[in-house]
Amino acid sequence: MKIIKSTALLILSMTILSPLAALADSSVGCGLGWQVTKAMTTTAATTRVSTNFTFSNTFAMTSGTSGCAQHSLVMKQKLDLHFVEANYQNIQIDMANGSGEYLFALARTMGCPEEVTAIFGNESRKHFNEIFSTSAEKENPQGALQSLKRVIKNHHLLVNKCNPVG
């Protein structure tokens, strides 16, 4: 009778635990939980989840620490691109006028100090057709931003005052 109970318990355990083995963690990740254990087991995954839940993982993801790669939305070198993508039409309007809050915010995002924002506005107005060309490669936020960076690099004052990344 004892052998039957043991066998039944063993079969029951295998039936319950077999699906859990298939659920073993095969992901890669970051955060404090991954610093605690990198094992690819269900127990390790549970430990990581508990650790990352207890100690906020947001800082690690946005700052690029604890083995996390910094997300592109918070990468400084792409901040100007995200700003242009989010405000493309408003920036076009402001550049056509040579001034406006979106244009001046873009100037600051590109590292231009307040003292040269008027020059930035005038140059963007003067080179509007070059920046927003109808050619396919410039007919998008990324192309317009690259053209604007060329305008900055070719201006004797803006090239020294502004710090566009990329």
- Per domain, the residue ranges of the chain are 2-71, 76-161
Rounded to an integer, the average pLDDT of 122-150 is: 86
In the prediction, which pLDDT does 26 show?
Answer: 46
pLDDT band at 18 (very low <50, low <70, confident <90, very high): very low
In the prediction, which pLDDT does 3 show?
Answer: 73
Q: Is the pLDDT of residue 87 over 60?
A: yes
Least confident of 8-17, 54-63, 156-165: 54-63
Contact predicate 95/132, CB 8 Å = yes
Integer Rg of the chain from CA:
27
